[in-house]
Amino acid sequence: MRIKVLGPGCRNCKTVHEMALAAVEELQLTDATVEYVQDMGTISSYIMTTPGLVVDEVVVHEGKPLPTYEKVKEILSK
């Protein structure tokens, strides 16, 4: 599983990144990689509003409100 957190480095984007990392660890997703993408060209190819969360090249979250930690775990456990 490839997980990408999309954002320019703001607090909200960092929060989503931290939640993704924690969820991967808690769910013991040993095959998962989490990448924090800050390049605006790459980000705009996926979403228009940050933060974004992409799982296996599918956008699963964009913008505000931020997903809860439980929501991130639910998304990643599918």
Q: What is the dihedral of CA 59, 17, 69, 55, to 10 degrees?
A: 30
- Model pTM? 0.93
Per the structure, the count of domains in the chain is 1
Structure token digits, residue 24: 């991967």
Cα–Cα distance for residue pair 29/38, rounded to 1 Å: 23
Q: Which strands form 52-55's sheet, in the order they lie side by side?
A: 33-37, 2-6, 52-55, 58-62
What's the CATH code of the domain at 13? Answer: 3.40.30.10
User: 36-57, pLDDT tens digit by residue?
Assistant: 999 999 999 999 999 999 999 9
User: 22-40, pLDDT tens digit by residue?
Assistant: 999 999 999 999 999 999 9
Specify the pLDDT at position 78. Answer: 84
